[in-house]
Structures are given as C-alpha cells and as structure tokens.
Chain A
Amino acid sequence: MAKKRLVLNFPPQLIDQPVTYRLITQYQLEVNILRASITPREWGRLVVEVTGSKENLDSGLKFASNLGVEIKPLAQDVQWYQERCIECTACTAICPTGALQLSREEMRVSFDHDKCIVCGLCLPICPYGAVEIMF
C-alpha cells in the first residue's frame, strides 16, 4: 500500500465533476480530505491523503491529471523556516497533529512535514512568520 499527501488544484471547468468519487470507486483509493476550498467559477483546492496500491495510486492520479487537475505534493505548500523560528514553543500547544513538536528535555521545536494536515492554525500564532502556507 502506498500513501501520499497531495494538494489537488481543480480548474473551474472541473468543479461539477465527481473526480474524488471516481478515484474512490474506479481506483479503489482511500481519500481522506484534510482541507477543501471550492468556490463556483474559481479554482478549487483539495488537500487529501490518498491511500491505495501503488498501481491504483499511480493510475488514479494519472486519470485526475489528464482531466486537468494539477497535483502537487503537500510538502511543497507548507514551509517551516527554521532560521525564522526562535523556538518560543507557542505553536506546539495548538498544533493538532504534533507536526510542530517540542522535545521537552531540550525545549527544542521541530517540524514534521508528514504529520502536517495544513490546518493553518499555527499561522496566526507564530509572531515570527516561521510557517508559511503557499495557498
């Protein structure tokens, strides 16, 4: 089984097509929607965690891509700038998945991309702009 965290960008003309439904039914993919932003006549955006066999995952994403969906790995859209972070720890109490984590022994802050669900809760918390979400 393979698992990917992706940002799916839907062009306006695809907004009325059940792309996620097809990914689930035709390609047997497990699609967990982490975040969604869909507005008529504008680009739609889904942040998803997709799980399935490698073969199904590849062909499912190819299908979506051929339809015109732009697919990017999630990691590219979330940036944690270590040099901007002063390790005050303010974000660590608010991060729901522990992606922004604190080693208590050292009081050091670190960021684990794989745990981030791009909820954006840390953005207004960080006074130093150490986290950026590119959409």
Chain B
Amino acid sequence: MAKTIQEINEKIRRGRAVVCTAEEVIQIAKSKGAKQAAAEVDVVTTGTFAPMCSSGAYFNVGHSKPRIKLGGGTVTLNDVPVYTGFAAVDFFLGATAVPDTDPRNTIYPGKFSYGGGHLIEDLVAGKDVQLIARAYGTDCYPRRKLETWIRLEDMNEAVLFNMRNCYQNYNVAVNLSDRLIYTYMGVLQPNMRNATYCSAGQLSPLLNDPFYRTIGIGTRIFLGGGIGYVVGNGTQHNPSVPRTAKGIPRMGAGTLAVTGSLKQMSARWLRGASFTGYGVTLAVGIGIPIPILDEDMLLYTAVTDADIVAQVVDYSEAYPHYTSGNLAEVSYAELKSGSITVNGKKVPSAGLSSYVRAREIAEILKSWLEKGSFLLTEPAETLVSADSEVEFKPLQERPILNNNRVAAS
C-alpha cells in the first residue's frame, strides 16, 4: 500500500489527490484509523507564521551609468545598512539590520521601529525605497556616489534567503527575576507572571515529519506567499535532542534553510516585526506539503498539540548565561489553553507564532495542490536526522594573548 511521490504527483496532476491540512488529518486518523487514513490521504499540508531573525534577502540592482562598485562600499536602503562584500551591484540585507541612527537600546527599552524586516515587507508591498551608496571608485567603476529611488520590480534579482527557519519546536520563555525583561520571546513580566511560546504545534512543518523523511534539499514549499525551496538544513539544526515515544523532539531541534524569489511573495506573509528592547525581525510564512507515503507518515502527521511538549526556560538568568536547567515540560495543548503550571504556579501563556495564519497557509497550500498547480518534490538529499550524532556546539572561547598572530595548539 506504500505510495511513491511520483504516484501522488500523478494524482495531483489529474486533480484526484486527496489533500488535507495537518489539523484535519487528526480527525481523519481518529475516525478511520491510521491504516485506512494512510490509504486515502495523499498529502498533508502544514504551516507556520512566526518571527525568524535569521532571515534575509539578496539583491542585484542593475548597473548605473556610469558604473559604480557597491562591493566594498556602503549601501543603505531606507537608511538600513546592507552587506556589500560582493561584486559590483549585489548585496545582502539582513532582517535584524537597523539604521545607524536608530538609538537601539541606549534609550532602554529601544523601540526598533524600522529595520531589515520592515524593509523586506515594504519592498514586497511594491513600495519605493531610497538607495544611498558610497563607493571608493575604480577605473572600471568610476562612480563614487549614488542616490536613487528603487523598487522591487526594478531590480534584476531579489531573493529571500533564510539561513534558519521553521524551527522544529522551541522553548517556552518565562522570567524568574523581579524586573521586567525584553527578549526575542517578547516582554516577560517579573516573577513568572507570563509565559510565551513560539510554534504552530500540530500544524508546524517539521513537527509533522519529525525524522525529516520527506522534507530535504530541494523540497518545494509555500514561502512568503509564493513558491520557495528548502536549501538544506538550517543553521543550528540539532536533530539529536531527546524525543518523545512518538519521535517528537522535546525542545528546539531541526531547522531549515529556505529560499525563493521575493518578486512573487506578498507582504501578508512577510511582515517586519519590532520587539521592544530586543530588535527588528521578520515574520515569515512557510507551508510544507508532506506526502503520505505509508502508515508511519500518516501517524506522524496526525500528531496533536497534546503530543508535543516544550521546555520552560528562564530568560532572566538561565538563557542569557547559557546554563542548563529547565523549569518544566508542558504541552502545546496546555500552552494554548491560556495557562501552564510551573513550580506549582499558574502562569498565563501566550503565543508569538500565529496559529490562525499557520492554518491559513496550510489551507492555501491545500488549494494549490488540489488545483494541480503545485507538485511535490523528491528531496535531492535528506537532512541528517536523530541517528546522526550531530552535536549542537557552544562556542569554545580561546583567549588571544599578547597580540599573538598564531593560535596556541
């Protein structure tokens, strides 16, 4: 009864594929049993819409007359600096970049009202932005100054490239200290008066394919409202963490690097975000189709919020100082109920990842598959999984002494 991706694609082409979302499959598995459900369902669609700081985009803006070599010079877009260490008119923009004039946290807590994430959103929305460049001038690229309005459609290439996205599970953040703290997990009230989490849980892509059997290099996905691809594992991909009996990582584990042309994406699915006291980031919408190759895949996709657990971590002391010691393990069903219990205390919980938008993405992807306009891909290479012994290494600091030029062995 096992199916292949080619067989499923044939059904998609003929408009005959049975597609359901990762939410719908839970009920189908319950009412029909896994075996029957696996025979009937061809694809399960997933989704997530949450902030991810390791997002960025690269651009080629075309050559000016006379030519200018932005490489090695300085370039800002709406005052947000970009990285120019490339050829003449290529550069990379990071989601967390902020204008040099932003006070950052010198006026604490900083507002971070505009940065790389917002710029990506503005460009995708079709807005004009200001490009201001200074270059050193060469014989072949004589120009030293460039100031112009530019928009996405004027550029040759504009490509979203996220070196890490789609985190498979994540921490639940609390604050044990007696002062308010501002983190990438939001504003955390003193004495554990709130808890924040950031995962779409049962709808989240990698929680529906916990061992990366079907998601790998080259997988075609919904990215930012358009079509994108998985490039490989994301940075900090850490598949060897402890897992539940069903194989679900109990904490942050796998990640994906993804890419896709910004020109076909939409501002609804790429949103700049300002985290008070922390910085700017980009909320990215991702949806991944999971082929139901066999009963095992069906069981993986039928995972529920009650099956997925996360670790509660103190962001006042344990996280910043990188010390171990999780306060509790809670399920997404508890987190979504509005409160969790940590050390006997009831703590209100709230999300940072939009479950409503995750559901919408899974629905959109489902409609693409049903229309036959989106075909599944066989991964060119699968990602390293739980048996890989990949380690998540902390930085080992080695002091540089006495102006030495060669590291001591």
Answer yes or no: do A and B interact. yes
Residue positions of A touching B, CB distance < 8 A: 86-94, 102, 104, 106-109, 124-125, 127-129
Closest residue on chain B to residue A92 by CB atoms: B350
Q: Smallest CB–CB gap between B389 and chain A, Å?
A: 35
Task: Collect the chain A residues with CB atoms within 8 Å of residue B353's CB.
Answer: 88
- Seed contacts A104-B338, A127-B274; 12 additional CB < 8 Å A-B pairs: A86-B357, A88-B50, A89-B350, A90-B186, A93-B194, A93-B349, A94-B194, A106-B356, A107-B355, A127-B51, A128-B273, A129-B113
A17 to B390, CA, bound (A): 72
Task: Collect the chain A residues with CB atoms within 8 Å of residue B281's CB.
Answer: 127
Task: Collect the chain A residues with CB atoms within 8 Å of residue B50's CB.
Answer: 88
10 contacts between A and B (CB under 8 A): A86-B354, A89-B354, A90-B196, A93-B195, A93-B338, A104-B338, A108-B356, A109-B356, A127-B283, A128-B271
**Are A89 and B274 touching (Cβ within 8 A)?**
no
**B377: interface (CB < 8 Å):** no
Which positions 106-123 of chain B face chain A at CB distance < 8 Å?
109, 113
A104 to B353, CA, bound (A): 15
**B275: interface (CB < 8 Å):** yes
Task: Collect the chain B residues with CB atoms within 8 Å of residue A94's CB.
Answer: 187, 189, 194, 350
Q: Which 6 A-B pairs have the closest CB atoms?
A: A93-B350, A127-B273, A124-B276, A107-B355, A93-B348, A87-B356
Most chain A CB inside 10 Å of its own CB: which residue of B276, B277, B350 = B350
A118 to B275, CA, bound (A): 21
**B4: interface (CB < 8 Å):** no
Chain B 269-302, CB within 8 Å of chain A: the 1/0 string? 0010111110001010000000000000000000
Interface range on chain B: under 10, 10 to 19, 20 to 34, or 35 or more?
20 to 34
A91 to B189, CA, bound (A): 12
A19 to B307, CA, bound (A): 59
Task: Collect the chain A residues with CB atoms within 8 Å of residue B187's CB.
Answer: 94, 124-125
Most chain A CB inside 10 Å of its own CB: which residue of B283, B349, B351, B355 = B351
Closest residue on chain A to residue B276 by CB atoms: A124
Task: Collect the chain B residues with CB atoms within 8 Å of residue A104's CB.
Answer: 336-338
A-B pairs under 8 A by CB, number = 70
Task: Collect the chain B residues with CB atoms within 8 Å of residue A108's CB.
Answer: 356
**Are B276 and A87 touching (Cβ within 8 A)?**
no
**Are A88 and B354 touching (Cβ within 8 A)?**
yes
Given known contacts A93-B349, A124-B187, is B49 in contact with A86 (CB within 8 Å)? yes
**Are A88 and B336 touching (Cβ within 8 A)?**
no
**B342: interface (CB < 8 Å):** no
Which positions 320-353 of chain B face chain A at CB distance < 8 Å?
336-338, 348-353
Task: Collect the chain A residues with CB atoms within 8 Å of residue B189's CB.
Answer: 94
Closest residue on chain B to residue A122 by CB atoms: B187
Chain B 112-155, CB within 8 Å of chain A: the 1/0 string? 01000000000000000000000000000000000000000000
Given known contacts A104-B338, A124-B276, is B109 in contact with A90 (CB within 8 Å)? no
A104 to B350, CA, bound (A): 11
Task: Collect the chain A residues with CB atoms within 8 Å of residue B348's CB.
Answer: 93
Q: Smallest CB–CB gap between B390 and chain A, Å?
A: 31
Most chain B CB inside 10 Å of its own CB: which residue of A94, A104, A127 = A127
A125 to B275, CA, bound (A): 8
A90 to B281, CA, bound (A): 16
Closest residue on chain A to residue B273 by CB atoms: A127
Task: Collect the chain A residues with CB atoms within 8 Å of residue B283's CB.
Answer: 86, 127-128
Among the listed B271, B274, B338, B352, which residue makes an inter-chain contact with A90, where contact means beta carbons less than 8 Å apart? B352
**Are A124 and B109 touching (Cβ within 8 A)?**
yes
Task: Collect the chain A residues with CB atoms within 8 Å of residue B338's CB.
Answer: 93, 102, 104
Closest residue on chain B to residue A85 by CB atoms: B354
Among the listed A86, A91, A129, which residue makes an inter-chain contact with B350, where contact means beta carbons less than 8 Å apart? A91
Most chain B CB inside 10 Å of its own CB: which residue of A87, A89, A104, A129 = A89
**Are B351 and A129 touching (Cβ within 8 A)?**
no
A57 to B275, CA, bound (A): 42
Q: Smallest CB–CB gap between B109 and chain A, Å?
A: 7
